[in-house]
């Protein structure tokens, strides 16, 4: 396959960037999107140009490091991560636009690399169960009904890639935050911190400068792990409940 790529190039956070056009040839349809970018980069290095910087690591769709906006879609046309998107979903001769996640809370670091540390701070604000090592009771002391365990798991699948924020016209992190809130709040182990968790995480989310939710549903459409939109509704419910219970 022969493709035309238009890639966002930006030397660093403080220098303005622009879309730059590259032609790549000899692309196999079995390549992943990142392997296609590898091919481009190998050529660029040999020409003495700087390769396109992009985040990636596991290339199995689980670490959440990779993620670019492909033709306007976070992670591209398939519902998966960029590393698991294969070139068979494109046609020979296509022009493909590749851009970084765009959000105020995800400043561009270089080219397609963005800073997602705001997600870590949201988790730090309450996305955990306080259980210092050694303090745990026997695992079978508290049975968890299977539906609750499954619900928790479905939300715990979030990989923190940021596609939800990138896809949201408001740059909102509601889906990411709600996934963690729902995962932990449904479990009996998470109950003691149920209220503080949701209040603190939502406050942290707001503080990081993410936008509000207008329920466009773009986040859930882009989510490679299929975190559903009702996840946000469930968090709203938790938040209102907590506001009533905890606030003075």
Minimum CB distance to other proteins, residue 47 (Å): 9
Looking at the Cβ atoms of 22 and 102, the one nearer to other proteins is 102
The residues near 120 (Cβ < 8 Å, ≥ 6 apart) are none
Nearer to other proteins, 91 or 153 (CB): 153
Using the 8-state DSSP alphabet, how is residue 24 labeled? E
Q: What is the CA angle 88-39-86, rounded to 5?
A: 20
Nearest-approach distance from CB 44 to other proteins, in angstroms:
8
- Closest contact distance (angstroms) between CB of 5 and other proteins is 12
Q: Which is nearer to other proteins, 91 or 124 (CB)?
A: 124
Q: Which is nearer to other proteins, 23 or 58 (CB)?
A: 58
Closest CA to 165 of 107, 79, 123, 97: 107
In the complex, minimum distance from the CB of residue 240 to other proteins, in angstroms, rounded to a whole number: 6
Residues 6+ apart with CB under 8 A from 243: 199
Q: Calculate helix-pair angle for 194-207, 230-246, nearest 10 degrees.
A: 110
């Amino acid at each position: 396959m022969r493709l035309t790529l238009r890639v966002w190039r930006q030397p660093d956070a403080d220098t303005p960037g622009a879309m730059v056009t590259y032609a790549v040839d000899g692309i196999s349809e079995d390549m992943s999107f990142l392997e296609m970018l590898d091919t481009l980069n190998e050529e660029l290095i040999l020409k003495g140009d700087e390769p396109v910087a992009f985040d990636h690591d596991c290339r199995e769709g689980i670490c959440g490091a990779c993620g670019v906006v492909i033709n306007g879609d976070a992670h591209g046309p398939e519902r998966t991560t960029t590393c698991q998107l294969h070139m068979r979903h494109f046609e020979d001769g296509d022009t493909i636009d590749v851009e970084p996640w765009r959000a105020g809370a995800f400043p561009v670091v270089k080219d397609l690399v963005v800073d997602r540390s705001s997600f870590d701070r949201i988790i730090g604000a309450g996305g955990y169960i306080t259980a210092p090592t050694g303090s745990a009771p026997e695992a079978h002391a508290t049975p968890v009904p299977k539906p609750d365990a499954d619900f928790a798991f479905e939300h715990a699948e979030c990989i923190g890639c940021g596609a939800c924020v990138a896809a949201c016209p408001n740059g909102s992190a509601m889906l990411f935050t709600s996934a963690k809130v729902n995962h932990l709040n449904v479990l009996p182990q998470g109950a003691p911190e149920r209220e503080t968790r949701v209040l603190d995480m939502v406050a942290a989310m707001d503080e990081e400068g993410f936008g509000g939710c207008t329920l466009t549903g773009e986040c859930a459409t882009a989510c490679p792990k299929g975190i559903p939109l009702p996840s946000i509704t469930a968090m709203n419910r938790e938040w209102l409940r907590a506001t009533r219970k905890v606030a003075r």
